[in-house]
């Protein structure tokens, strides 16, 4: 098989390997590490294409379609605690396995406190209001509860300000989206409070260690890495990513090769060497 064929097979995006249900999607998250709910990037696996076994399948907005069915899986996966759920890959809903979460937080999240960030002028007053409301709540808040606690009353202008502030925190991976098993409204929590154990583990990792752990999880199924789009879509620093890929190449676990569909050579995993490291 070509590297692309190996990738689609390992990502369950073929008729022979596709997943049948939400329980299989939970297993997918654990085995692949970082999985978007719907297609977000050709460089990362996603549940929708794995369900249909077709990497070209298109999503739609109807409920009585595969898109609608996969949408409801969020509640099942959330109820099962299948993984960390937030906007990671290209600001799209993404699941991260618990074992890989410290590495992703180290690579992507802002680990300083909201107080520090606000004092430094790194986050806006509105974003700080949301972070403080969640901190003072001591737990999680639904969207309606959070808007009220953070003093964003109803109205088009206030809703826009609220969404902009949430996006600001999302972009720094400071907010976790919490979905319950009964399909109620999504809730929000500060990553630093809800997942303190994983944040503590992240702080103990160097960026290089975190990147190596990400690639150790990513490469066996991905079959190859295209550093430019992979860095852009995951938000991982490209120089850091390239340095880790180069180390693996020097150790004989990767080789630079042309891959159809890519303008520059990719780092192709040498499957004979076994799993990286």
Tens of pLDDT along 100-129?
999 999 999 999 999 999 999 999 999 999
Give the integer Cα–Cα distance in Å for 171 and 176.
11
Give the integer Cα–Cα distance in Å for 274 and 14.
23
pLDDT value of position 186: 81
pLDDT value of position 181: 58
Contacts of 253 (CB under 8 A, 6+ apart): 219, 269, 270, 273, 276, 277
DSSP letters, 228-251, are HHHHHHHT--HHHHHHHHHHHHHT
pLDDT value of position 18: 97
pLDDT value of position 183: 59
pLDDT value of position 269: 95
Tell which phi-psi region holds residue 152, choosing left (phi > 0), alpha (psi between -120 and 50) or beta: beta
pLDDT value of position 261: 93
User: Which class does domain 108-202 fall in?
Assistant: mainly alpha
User: What's the alpha-carbon Rg for the chain, to the nearest Å?
Assistant: 19
Q: Cα 269 from chain centroid?
A: 22
All residue ranges of the chain with pLDDT < 70 are: 180-185, 271-277
Q: Does residue 51 sit in helix, strand or coil?
A: helix
Q: Does domain 207-273 have CATH number 1.10.10.10?
A: yes
pLDDT value of position 277: 40
Q: Where are the domains of the chain?
A: 3-98, 108-202, 207-273
pLDDT value of position 264: 94
- Kindly report the pTM of this predicted structure: 0.93
The neighbour count for residue 227, using CB atoms within 10 Å, is: 20
């Amino acid at each position: 098989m070509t590297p692309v064929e190996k990738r689609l097979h390992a990502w369950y995006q073929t008729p022979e390997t596709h997943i049948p249900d939400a329980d299989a999607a939970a297993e997918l998250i654990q085995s692949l590490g970082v999985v978007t709910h719907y297609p977000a990037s050709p460089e990362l696996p996603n549940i929708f294409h794995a369900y249909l076994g077709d990497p070209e399948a298109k999503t739609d907005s109807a409920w009585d379609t595969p898109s609608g069915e996969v949408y409801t899986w969020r509640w099942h996966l959330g109820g099962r605690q299948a993984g960390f759920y937030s906007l990671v890959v290209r600001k799209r809903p993404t699941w991260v396995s618990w074992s890989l979460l410290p590495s992703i937080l180290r690579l992507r999240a802002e680990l300083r406190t909201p107080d520090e960030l606000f004092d430094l002028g790194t986050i806006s007053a509105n974003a700080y209001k949301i972070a403080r409301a969640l901190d003072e709540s001591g737990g999680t808040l639904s969207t309606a509860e959070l808007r009220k606690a953070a003093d964003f009353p109803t109205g088009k202008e206030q809703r826009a300000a609220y969404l902009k502030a949430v996006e600001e925190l999302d972009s720094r991976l400071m907010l976790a989206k919490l979905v319950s098993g009964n399909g109620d409204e999504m809730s929000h929590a500060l990553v630093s409070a809800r997942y303190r154990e994983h944040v503590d583990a992240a702080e103990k990792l160097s960026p290089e260690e975190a990147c190596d752990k990400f690639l150790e999880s990513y490469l066996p199924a991905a079959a190859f890495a295209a550093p430019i789009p992979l860095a852009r879509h995951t938000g991982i620093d490209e120089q850091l990513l390239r340095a880790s890929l180069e180390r693996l190449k020097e150790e004989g676990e990767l080789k630079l090769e042309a891959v159809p569909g890519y303008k520059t050579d990719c780092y192709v995993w040498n499957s004979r060497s076994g799993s990286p490291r």
